[in-house]
Structures are given as C-alpha cells and as structure tokens.
Amino acid sequence: MTGGDVALIVALLLLLLDLAIRIGSIIVIPRNRRPSTAIAWLMTIFLIPYVGFLLFLLIGSYKLPKSRRDKQHAINEFIVETTEGIERVSENTPWPPWFKNVVELNRTLGAMPLVGGNNATLVGDYDESIRQMTADIDKAGRYVHAEFYILSYDTTTKPFFEALEAAVKRGVTVRVLLDHIASVRAPGHKKTVKMLDRIGVKWHFMLPVQPLKGRWQRPDLRNHRKILVIDGDVAYMGSQNVVDRSYNKKSNLRRGLMWKDLMTRLEGPIVAGINAIFITDWYSESNELLLRETRAITDEIIDDEPDALDMQVVPSGPGFDGENNLRLFLALLYNAQERIVITSPYFVPDDAMLYAITTATQRGVTVDLFVSEIGDQALVYHAQRSYYEVLLRAGVRIYMYQSPYILHAKHFTIDDEVAVIGSSNMDMRSFSLNMEVSLMVRGRDFVTAMRGVEDGYRKVSRELTLDEWHKQPLRSTVLDNLARLTSGLQ
C-alpha cells in the first residue's frame, strides 16, 4: 500500500467521522434542551466539528451525577415530611389573590414551606456586612455553618476568620463549605486553605473537580450560594462573598473596581430553612447528615407582631429536575400588577424571561432594571448589552450603576407586596448551571426597605436612553451579538 493510499483511507475515515458527528449531534443534542441552546451547540459542532464535539463531551451535560441528585431527592422528601402542614403565616394583611399559587409552586419545586413570624434587616454596606456576620459568629454557642461561593482570607476578611477560630477554641462546631473551582481561582487560595486547617474548622470543597480522586462532573456546574447560619437563631444570605470587595485580582485593582452587594440578616423560623440548605450541601459533599443540628421549623416560636414577615426559601440548581428560580421569577413577573424593579449584575435572560418582562410593560406595568455601567466579565457584559435595545423599545427603564462599582446585588420587587433576594443572577447560567438559593418575602415593610435600596441605586446611576443606545459604535454591536450567541452554550 502506497503512501497515497494511506492518505486516502485516513481522509475517508475522517470524512466518515465528521459525518457521524454531525448526524449524531442532530439526533442527540436537541433532546430535552431549549431550542436556543440546541442551536448554539449545533452551530458550534457544525462550524468546528472536532473541537465542538469535544467541548460538548466536556460540558454538554448540565446535570449533576445521579448519586448527588439522589441525595437531593432524599433531602427534599425529608423536608416535605417534617414540614407538612406548617405553612403558618401572618393573617394581618390579606394575600394578593395570586400569591397562594406561587407559594405552592415553590413548595412543589424546592420542598420548602412558607413560614411566618420572621424578621429581616437589609445590609447594603460591604464592610458592614462582614462586621455584622463576624459579630454574630462571636456570639455563637453551638455551631456556625458558613457556605460561600468564594471564601478568601485577606486583610478585609481577617476578622471573620479570627471569629471562626475563636469559636472553635470555645468549643463551637464550625463547618465551612466553599466552591472548589471559584476558590482555587481566587488569589490567596493556598493561604486560605492553610488558615482553615490551622484554626480547626471542618470544611469541604463544593462540587470538587478532582478526577484522580473520582470526583467529576461538568466543571462549570458550580455552587454559587452565600449563606451563614449561627446556632439556628440567626442567618445571613444574599449576594456577597467573603472576600475583599476588589476580589484581590490585579485586573480589578488596576481598574479600581469595587463590588456593591446586598445581604439580609434573618431571625425566626426561616433560619431553619436556610440551615436546611447548608445541611443538604454538607451531606452532598461529606456523606454526613447533620440531624443533630436540624431544628424542625415546627419547633420555632412564631413572632405574631404585625410587622413580622412571611418567607419561603427556594433552592435551585442542577440537582433539581426543574429550573426552580426561573419558574419563581416568571410566576412573579406575570402576576405583577403595578411595578417591577430588577437588580442583576449579569442579566442574560432566556426567551421566556424576556417575554415576561416585555409583556409586563405592554400591559401597563412599570419595569425598572438596574445593571452596572461597566463589566468585570467581558463575555457576559457584552451578551447582556445585546438585550438593551429590545428592552428599551418595550419601555423598560435601564439604570446603569456608576463605575468603578460593580453592582453585584441580586434582588427584585413586585408591586408593594413581594420581594426576592438571594444569590441568583437573571441569566441562563444561574437558571441552569449554578446551585443557587433565593428567598421570597411577603411584607410591605420589607418591600419598602428594598425600595429604599433601589432609590439609593437610582441616585448614583444614569438612565440609558434609546437615543444614546443608537449612537454606540458598530464594533460594540458586533461584540454584543457574538457574545449573545455564545451565551446559549449550556
């Protein structure tokens, strides 16, 4: 056989392989995926077949391993069984007529009940949030549960770590969960891990990507939650990581970037719900089920004060069968009667959310959207911008928070009735790939406080107009549209 014959055979085999990849992709990829996602993957594979196919094998599945999903189902069943019939809520003010169905939706998807008798304080100052969390850790008598996407030891967070160390020394059990990939990529990671080991806390990486240790799933499936629970009495949750507000990255420091976040401090029965999220994630990573630290919500004392709040925890992520956070957001958007205010640092909606928002304006609902004037992630920033024109044309008012701040807060309000705060962005990554936690709150006092936060954003933001948008250079339009195409790869 001559060299020419070998080359011909190799070329023929490559042609057959290319054809097999293309045909197989058409059969496999569209199954159980959004059309936009399927089209994005098919375009990638048809344009760069071998590279696209390898990428799909690496990150094409957005589900966690079956063993982890089984654990989530088991925990959900436990939560439902132990909280059956305890939807004890305030009757001081009537519910909106649509609210009961939204509560039932959340219960069906995430297992958690709506419970009343809670108190909440919003904390919008970055350093003050860390100070308050540190002060509550200093009061811990039994346990501290800390779970953060990024937890980093630096000058800003040193008091937080010192409080954890002091708690361990006085006999408090301290457990820490931190996302593996996000933490490894954070500056000072080795110093942080050494500190956790030195002070004697019990800790685990979340969703570790360690194939040599038999730990593997799609590497961009991340645990993005930010929660802290002290003794089952106090909890924090929201958008803020435990790290300096510059994230200690050279590029951020060079640009002078600083993060602006919003956390909420919680007391009441809802703390048991927040703790259940931690217990679920601890069980997933350690195989240890913390039944001793599980305080049933039925054991909680309900605050009957008129301003006590009704709350429901909504966990979401690839461990669940549905996109719990997206379904909650859509339900609230479609039921809004007067006003919607959305704050999201990474706003890349799918078609369903885009239709819900534009439909709201068309039926007379006022819609405001707060985003950052500048971006810290170029691809997401440009993908987000690609939606501005259709939103502006629909009547959405877009406010751009002043640089050099990155408005990282994640929350929205519906009329004067309901607010949602948590770790979830309004983008397809948060809907499908990240493990998130959201808190739905019914109570006018809380919504009023949230409106105050939104008014504060408005004072330091500039409104983007359609006329201004039309003046953007062609290169920006090209970059925005290209980034939007890649956002569908899930």
Based on the fold, state whether residues 48 and 132 are members of the same structural domain: no
Q: Is residue 108 part of a domain?
A: no
Based on the fold, state whether residues 54 and 77 are members of the same structural domain: no
Q: How far apart are CA 90 and CA 450, in angstroms?
A: 20
Query: Mean pLDDT: which of 91-95, 174-178, 302-306 is highest?
Result: 174-178
pLDDT at residue number 318:
85
Based on the fold, state whether residues 40 and 78 are members of the same structural domain: no
Q: Is residue 105 part of a domain?
A: no
pLDDT band, residue 436 (cuts 50/70/90): very high
Query: Mean pLDDT: which of 8-17, 208-217, 415-424 is highest?
Result: 415-424
pLDDT band, residue 33 (cuts 50/70/90): low
Based on the fold, state whether residues 326 and 346 are members of the same structural domain: yes
Q: Terminus-to-terminus CA distance in the chain, angstroms?
A: 46
For the cut 70, the answer to whether the pLDDT of residue 1 exceeds it is no
Q: How far apart are CA 47 and CA 449, in angstroms?
A: 50
Residue 146, phi then psi, degrees to nearest 5: -120, 125
Is residue 105 within 8 A of residue 327, CB to CB? The reply is yes
Q: Is residue 444 part of a domain?
A: yes
What mean pLDDT do residues 164-181 have? 97
Q: How far apart are CA 314 and CA 422, in angstroms?
A: 9
Q: For 213-217, 235-239, 298-302, which range has the lowest pLDDT when averaged over its residues? A: 298-302
Q: Which residue has the higher pLDDT, 217 or 103?
A: 103
Q: For 76-90, 190-204, 416-430, which range has the lowest pLDDT when averaged over its residues? A: 76-90
Domain final position from 284, 308, 332: 308
Based on the fold, state whether residues 424 and 346 are members of the same structural domain: yes
| Contacts with 118 (C-beta within 8 Å, 6 or more apart), sequence order | 266, 267, 268, 269, 270, 303, 308, 309, 310, 311
Q: For 46-55, 199-208, 215-224, 436-445, which range has the lowest pLDDT when averaged over its residues? A: 46-55
Based on the fold, state whether residues 35 and 79 are members of the same structural domain: no
Read off the amino acid at residue 45.
I
Based on the fold, state whether residues 299 and 346 are members of the same structural domain: no
Based on the fold, state whether residues 227 and 123 are members of the same structural domain: yes
For the cut 80, the answer to whether the pLDDT of residue 378 exceeds it is yes
Is residue 147 within 8 A of residue 177, CB to CB? The reply is yes
Q: Is residue 188 part of a domain?
A: yes
Q: How far apart are CA 460 and CA 67, in angstroms?
A: 47
Q: Name the token pair of 163.
A: 């409080």
Cis peptide leading into residue 35 (ω within 30°): no
CA dihedral 61, 67, 70, 76 (to 10 degrees): -90
Domain final position from 263, 285, 308: 308
What mean pLDDT do residues 57-66 have? 65
Q: For 53-57, 464-468, 476-480, which range has the lowest pLDDT when averaged over its residues? A: 53-57
| Radius of gyration, alpha carbons of the chain | 23
For the cut 80, the answer to whether the pLDDT of residue 175 exceeds it is yes
Number of compact structural domains in the chain: 3
Q: Name the token pair of 197.
A: 């080991």
Instruction: Find the CATH number of the domain harbouring 278.
Output: 3.30.870.10
Based on the fold, state whether residues 234 and 259 are members of the same structural domain: yes
pLDDT at residue number 490:
47
Q: Name the token pair of 486.
A: 């890649």
Q: Is residue 104 part of a domain?
A: no
Residue 441: how many CB atoms within 10 A of its CB? 25
Based on the fold, state whether residues 71 and 171 are members of the same structural domain: yes
Q: Is residue 9 part of a domain?
A: yes
Q: Domain limits at 264?
A: 66-99+113-308
Question: pTM here?
Answer: 0.88
Based on the fold, state whether residues 90 and 137 are members of the same structural domain: yes
Domain final position from 308, 331, 352: 308
Based on the fold, state whether residues 8 and 75 are members of the same structural domain: no
Residue 261, phi then psi, degrees to nearest 5: -125, 175
